[in-house]
Amino acid sequence: MGLSEFSNFGTIELAEGLPVRELLALSMETDEMLDEAQEEEIRVPPYLMGLTKTTIDILLQRRDMIAEYFALNITSEGILTTLPLLLKNYTPHFGKLPSFLRRLGRNVPP
């Protein structure tokens, strides 16, 4: 479905945009890499904050391409405003969105 509709997705408009920075921070909190850090009551280690910043920078630099190809719109302020609509009458599981954005940021060439 994703390949046959590539660059031709409908969109799910988000009534209130979601800050990409906060979504990425959520993905770091749920990541297995933070298990030890959380036990020591460290919120987010500095090296992971660097990864979050790098990921945000990549997503913002490539936001036009991401919007065109995947209907994933991110404003210049880093607010996610739309998601791709792959199936009509289907609402995706938003709990997976933080991890998806983190992986997208890792896999989009800088």
Summarize pLDDT for 82-98 with one digit per residue, the tens. 988 877 787 888 888 88
> Higher pLDDT residue, 9 or 101?
101
Q: Partners of 10 in the beta sheet?
A: 85
3-state secondary structure 61-100: HCHHHHHHHHCCCECCCCEEEEEEECCCCCCCCHHHHHHH
pLDDT band at 42 (very low <50, low <70, confident <90, very high): very low
Question: At 18, which helix (H) or strand (E)?
Answer: strand 10-19
The DSSP 8-state label assigned to residue 34 in this structure reads G
Average pLDDT taken over every residue of the chain = 76
pTM: 0.71
- How far apart, in whole angstroms, are the C-alpha atoms of residue 79 and residue 19? 4
- How far apart, in whole angstroms, are the C-alpha atoms of residue 35 and residue 42? 10
Summarize pLDDT for 30-41 with one digit per residue, the tens. 555 555 444 445
- Whether the CB-CB separation of 89 and 38 falls below 8 Å is answered with no
